[in-house]
């Protein structure tokens, strides 16, 4: 791994003023030189020198950083998607053929106009009209900024979609009594907290706190499961305030291993049809994410991914949507595009943020300010 640089803090650059362009420009300048070829006068394997050529093949970030670097609008804006012009109000539309796709030539024309604007106010006016800003990556003539900014599986799949399902759909929360996942008003503090025994009396909180809730049963099952040594179990107290935020890999273990084991046992032959439908819905998400994590892919795997993720989002709306406003979020829509990315770029494992996140975590936990001589530690590790 080659660390080009770190954007200086203490705060992240202003998105509105596209301040990150100043840092990205330095990397893009290097990429342009490497496109033509840079001659190294001497390398370990080639004492007589070697011509090195490089290309940027995609941008790997979480959704927010992708918008900052590539000039797309925020996921909460009118147009939350980087691949199409589907409006946020239409996010529940699962018909891929009906989505108006972004056009690269038009995208570059608008981004260039934003860059050429003479005042900040003019840039703001253009952004309100087209919801696009300039990105330094537009300078790379071979780079398709619409195609080469795929969503990242650890963030989109596990930290967003899976976590949303546990927290907002199942409503797993120590502070709430149980429910049965029926769509009720979101203003109700007890909304959709899944209780496995289907008791639903919210007037007696003390009684409900004694009832076994979904997470309690999952905890018990986790204690009784022996995993292979190469699999890391999710933390025993996941979901509690004491544990805090889980990592993407821990949400992955819950989604693909622990929760399916418990839910299939509880709801697989449950007499209440809604419970079986809730299981079917969750398993569609687990199956889709499992395929998205494959180390090699065949065409039929991509079809299978698309089938499961579409089924998951369709039944998610049928089971849990309480009003005309779609229950789906921009990250759900991004998952609908992930099948295209898998077909176009291949398996996710070779292009996700996991390795980068590990190095970011490593560097964030070290205070190197004014400690000269410490930098070689980072350099040694990132070059492994």
Residue numbers at the binding site for Zn ion (CB under 5 A): 81, 83-84, 86
Nearer to Zn ion, 83 or 193 (CB): 83
Which pair of tokens denotes residue 73?
């609008």
Nearer to Zn ion, 150 or 179 (CB): 150
Q: Smallest distance from the beta carbon of 105 to Zn ion, in angstroms?
A: 18
336 — alpha (psi -120 to 50), left (phi > 0) or beta?
alpha
Given a contact cutoff of 8 angstroms between Cβ atoms, the answer to whether 231 and 214 are in contact is no
Strand partners, 101: 84
Nearer to Zn ion, 123 or 326 (CB): 326
Nearer to Zn ion, 79 or 134 (CB): 79
Nearer to Zn ion, 81 or 338 (CB): 81
Nearer to Zn ion, 263 or 335 (CB): 335
Nearer to Zn ion, 149 or 287 (CB): 149
DSSP-derived secondary structure for 17-82: TTTTHHHHHHHHHHHHHHHH-EEES--SS-TT-EEE----------HHHHHHHH-PPPTTSSS--S
Which pair of tokens denotes residue 44?
């370990």
Closest CA to 342 of 292, 289, 307, 285: 292
Q: Smallest distance from the beta carbon of 378 to Zn ion, in angstroms?
A: 37
Nearer to Zn ion, 84 or 338 (CB): 84
Nearer to Zn ion, 84 or 196 (CB): 84
Closest CA to 253 of 274, 220, 231, 284: 231
Which pair of tokens denotes residue 328?
């789906």
How far apart, in Å, are the Cα atoms of 5 and each of 25, 63, 360, 368, 376?
12, 20, 12, 14, 14
Q: Smallest distance from the beta carbon of 197 to Zn ion, in angstroms?
A: 40
Q: Smallest distance from the beta carbon of 249 to Zn ion, in angstroms?
A: 27
Classify each residue of 179-206 as buried b or exposed e, where b means 16 or more C-beta atoms within 10 Å of its C-beta. bbbeeeeeeeebbbbbbbebbeebeeee
Q: Smallest distance from the beta carbon of 43 to Zn ion, in angstroms?
A: 43
How far apart, in Å, are the Cα atoms of 204 and each of 177, 192, 199, 211?
9, 16, 11, 11
Q: Smallest distance from the beta carbon of 99 to Zn ion, in angstroms?
A: 5
Q: Smallest distance from the beta carbon of 100 to Zn ion, in angstroms?
A: 9
Q: Smallest distance from the beta carbon of 84 to Zn ion, in angstroms?
A: 3
Q: Say which residues have a Cβ less than 8 Å from residue 282's Cβ, sequence separation at least 6.
A: 165, 259, 260, 263
Beta carbons within 10 angstroms of residue 221's beta carbon: 16
How far apart, in Å, are the Cα atoms of 336 and each of 82, 98, 218, 310?
12, 13, 29, 7
Nearer to Zn ion, 76 or 364 (CB): 76
By CB neighbour count within 10 A (0-12 exposed, 13-18 middle, 19+ buried), where does 151 fall? buried
Q: Smallest distance from the beta carbon of 309 to Zn ion, in angstroms?
A: 13
Q: Is the peptide bond before 10 cis (omega within 30 degrees of 0)?
A: yes
Q: Smallest distance from the beta carbon of 337 to Zn ion, in angstroms?
A: 5
């Amino acid at each position: 791994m080659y660390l080009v640089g770190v954007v200086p803090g203490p705060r992240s650059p202003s998105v509105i003023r596209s301040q990150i362009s100043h840092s990205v420009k330095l990397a893009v300048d290097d990429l342009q030189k490497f496109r033509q070829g840079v001659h190294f006068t001497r390398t370990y394997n080639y004492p007589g020198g070697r011509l090195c050529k490089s290309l940027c093949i995609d941008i790997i970030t979480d959704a927010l950083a992708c918008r900052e670097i590539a000039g797309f609008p925020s996921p909460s804006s009118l147009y939350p998607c980087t691949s199409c012009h589907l409006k946020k109000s239409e996010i529940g539309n699962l018909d891929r053929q009906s989505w108006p796709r972004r056009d690269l030539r038009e995208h570059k024309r608008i981004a260039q106009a934003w860059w050429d604007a003479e005042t900040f106010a003019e840039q703001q006016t253009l952004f309100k009209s087209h919801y696009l800003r300039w990105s330094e990556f537009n300078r790379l003539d071979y780079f398709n900024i619409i195609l080469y900014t795929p969503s990242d599986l650890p963030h989109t799949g596990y930290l967003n979609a899976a976590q949303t399902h546990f927290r907002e759909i199942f409503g797993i929360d120590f502070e709430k009594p149980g429910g049965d996942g029926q769509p009720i008003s979101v203003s109700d503090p007890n909304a959709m907290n899944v209780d496995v025994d289907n008791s639903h009396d919210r007037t007696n909180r003390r009684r409900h706190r004694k009832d076994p809730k979904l997470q309690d049963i999952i905890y018990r099952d986790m204690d009784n499961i022996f995993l292979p040594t190469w699999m890391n179990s999710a933390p025993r107290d996941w979901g509690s305030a004491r544990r805090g935020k889980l990592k993407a890999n821990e949400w992955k273990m819950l989604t693909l291993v622990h929760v399916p084991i418990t839910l299939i046992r509880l709801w697989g032959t449950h007499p209440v049809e809604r419970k079986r439908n809730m299981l079917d819905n969750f398993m569609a998400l687990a199956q889709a994410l499992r395929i998205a994590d494959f180390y090699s892919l065949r065409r039929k795997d991509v079809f299978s991914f698309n089938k499961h993720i579409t089924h998951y989002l369709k039944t998610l709306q049928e089971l849990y949507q309480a009003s005309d406003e779609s229950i789906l979020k921009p990250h759900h829509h991004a998952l609908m595009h992930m099948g295209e990315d898998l077909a176009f770029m291949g398996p996710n494992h070779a292009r996700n943020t996991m390795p980068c996140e590990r190095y970011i975590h490593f560097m964030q936990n070290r205070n190197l300010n004014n400690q000269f001589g410490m930098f070689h530690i980072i350099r040694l590790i990132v070059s492994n």
